[in-house]
Amino acid sequence: MASNDEKTKPLQPRQADSSTNLENLGMDELLDLYTRPTLAEGEIVKGRVIKITPSDVVVDIGYKSEGLLPVNEVTGYDGQVRVKRGDEIEVFIERFEDSSGYVALSREKAARMRVWDDIEAAFKADQAISGRVIDRVKGGLQVDVGGIKAFLPGSLIDTKPVKNLDALRGHEMQFKIVSFDKKRSNVVLSRRAILEVEQAAAKKTTFGRLKEGELTHGVVKNITEYGVFVDLGGVDGLLHITDISWGRVAHPSEYFNVGDEIEVVVLKFDADSERVSLGYKQKSPDPWSDVADRYPLGSRVKGRVVSLTDYGAFLELEEGVEGLIHVSEMSWTKKIRHPAKMLNIGDEVEAVVSDVNIPNRRISLSLKALEQNPWDTISQRFPVGSVIDGRVRNLTDFGAFVEVEEGIDGLIHISDMSWHRRLKHPSEVLKKGDVVKARVINVDGENQRLSLSIREFLPNEWDNFAKIHNVGDEVVGQISKITDFGLFIRLADGVEGLAHVSEVQRDARQKLDKLFHPGDGIRSRIIKIDSTERKIGLTTRDVEPLSPEEQPHHDEGHEEPLEEPLEEHPKEHPEEPHEEPSKEHPEEPHDEPAPDSSEPQQS
């Protein structure tokens, strides 16, 4: 590099004396002029840098005048001048002695002429040539090849589409020459041709060293939802998500990042189709190989809830080993509609191993086995004859379920809700949420049933009627049923009397159902009260019939139906018709159990 003083001095041309002054030259100078080579415009000559200014480089080319080279032609991409004083460089003579008296030189043109020779030689020999990506242009990239701007089409950049072309700007690369035209200064390059050769060689080497069942190294190239692509050296292998871990893997990115160097097991490969299957979990033993020894039946285990389904919760006991807590194994007394009612993902849970199925890789767990079944001691807590207070939890056609303690329901059958009153539905006596007093009348712990009765805590309609009525009293009632042997007459709620056919005042030739109708009002006289049998005998003989005004009136079209004699309701605890979800590990969720509107399970 020249000094500052040199840069600021004005350039003065150094010229040899004219031929008219040859007589003044000495022998050495004359000899130098004679032996100096003849130069011509358009030639490439070598010169020595003798001075550098901010705008030019002065070069001695052995001519009578020194040459000037624009400094930007020897300035790199970083702005630094690439030559210094004393360096020997090649230059192109553009013209002799311009207006300043210097020879106009160009290093770019000299380099370009040399590069064209190199380009032609590389093209003929099918060899690679170096270049630097300088810009992105329409359809591809512009590459500087020794000062010549060449074109690299987008389709020839790589073996696969390149999404970000700008990221290649400034990169030095090797290229193959596809075509060139020196006159038009046109050069087309291919980077893909270089990569294809490199990849073919790498593939051959890689397949030559791969062996099934052995370990190999690679670099994570891409991550998808179903697995990881690993570059093994010109060959991409697939590490499927199911071969990443013996345990549950939500996404491969939980284990790997693009660019990670990893060790994998070669599961299988096919050189012809260029497919390689890799494994990661195979580096460690299968945890199910000795599960039966580590998780014996009846043992208590701890795990983390990793999944909830309609039919149960999956617990991760260790990486690669999960157990299922079926909904039926979550509580002795509660009817669990969905595991989410009791557990959350991430919960640490203790359970008991209830079954181990090695061939199917299934472990069944139980939460309720951690506690004693409350139905085993139900007869001790609620013996027959004891009185309880409970809340009506649900009503059905056949009775009411009363919660006697958390998770334990007793059934009050409809027949145990009144003494003699005929009930069509339990809602006539109870409603949901009522707190009632009841007596335990039966306990069946094995079938998880508890029977209750509230009858004795309710008024006895028959006894109350018998206390205020005597034989001979006239009463007004309503015909509830007509039979061949008489009329059943409802006298009050839960109280009914019978007027035998012989005690009904009528023409003996006429049938009762022709003279009377259910719902008709009728006056009769009590002729018998049997408290033991709870029977009342009636007669209509010598009794004044009801006047039309005394007959009961009903809204037109809305005649109130009379109660039929009480039909026997089943006093067993009927089970709801629903399918219990399978306790195996199902592949698909089962139907949900029936809603609360039906009979709750007594458990």
Terminal Cα-to-Cα distance of the chain (whole angstroms): 99
Q: Which two tokens stand for residue 100?
A: 């300043």
The two tokens of residue 497 are 């009397």
Q: Which pLDDT score is estimated for 30?
A: 54
Average pLDDT, the chain: 81
d(CA 109, CA 112): 5
In 61-160, the DSSP E strands lie at 67-70, 88-95, 103-106, 128-137, 140-145, 148-153
Domains, in order of start, for the chain: 4-110 (2.40.50.140), 128-195 (2.40.50.140), 210-283 (2.40.50.140), 287-370 (2.40.50.140), 374-457 (2.40.50.140), 464-550 (2.40.50.140)
Q: Which of 78-82, 199-203, 257-261, 292-296 has the highest mean pLDDT?
A: 257-261
Contacting residues for 35 by C-beta, under 8 A, at least 6 apart: none
Q: Residue 428 has which token pair?
A: 């006539």
pLDDT (0 to 100) of residue 23: 59
Bigger pLDDT: 563 vs 291: 291
CB 413 within 8 A of CB 455: no
Give the Cα-Cα-Cα angle 502, 503, 504 (nearest 5 degrees). Answer: 95
Give the other-Cβ count within 10 Å of 186's Cβ.
13
Confidence of residue 220 (pLDDT cuts 50, 70, 90): very high
Range name among 17-21, 101-105, 491-495 with the lowest pLDDT average: 17-21
Token code pair at residue 136: 């992105």
Q: pLDDT (tens digit, 9 = 90+) per residue, 369-402? A: 888 888 888 888 889 889 888 899 899 999 999 9
For residue 31, the model assigns a pLDDT of 56
Give dist(CA 163, CA 156) in Å, integer. 13
The pLDDT, as a whole number, for residue 89 is 85
More confident residue, 253 or 575: 253
Beta-bridged to residue 400, according to DSSP, are 395, 412
d(CA 246, CA 527): 88
* C-alpha angle 113-116-120 in degrees, rounded to nearest 5: 145
Integer Rg of the chain from CA: 54
Tokens of 572: 């067993």
pLDDT at residue 200 in the model: 85
Strand partners, 452: 412, 440
Give me the mean pLDDT over the 301-322 stretch. Answer: 89
Q: 404-462, pLDDT tens digit by residue?
A: 888 788 999 988 887 766 778 988 888 898 898 898 989 888 888 899 988 878 767 77
In percent, the amount of the chain with pLDDT more than 90 equals: 21
E-assigned strands of 86-127? 88-95, 103-106
What tokens appear for 63 in the block? 């001519």
58-67 mean pLDDT? 84
pLDDT band at 142 (very low <50, low <70, confident <90, very high): very high
100-114, 396-410, 460-474, 588-602: least confidently modelled range: 588-602
SS3 state of residue 158: coil
CA distance linking residue 401 with residue 404, whole number of Å: 9
Return left, alpha or beta for 576; rule: phi > 0 is left, psi -120 to 50 is alpha, else beta. beta
Mean pLDDT of 533-547: 87
Extract the tokens encoding 352. 């008991």
Q: Tokens at residue 389, please?
A: 């207070």
Res. 364 pLDDT band, cuts 50 70 90: very high
Q: Where are the alpha helices (DSSP H) in 360-489?
A: 378-381, 461-468
Local structure of 112: helix, strand or coil: helix
In this prediction, residue 411 carries a pLDDT of 92
Give the model confidence (pLDDT) of 9-21 as tens digits.
Answer: 444 444 443 444 5
Interior angle at CA 587, CA 581 and CA 593, nearest 5: 20
Whole-number pLDDT of residue 175 = 93
Stretch 31-44: mean pLDDT: 63
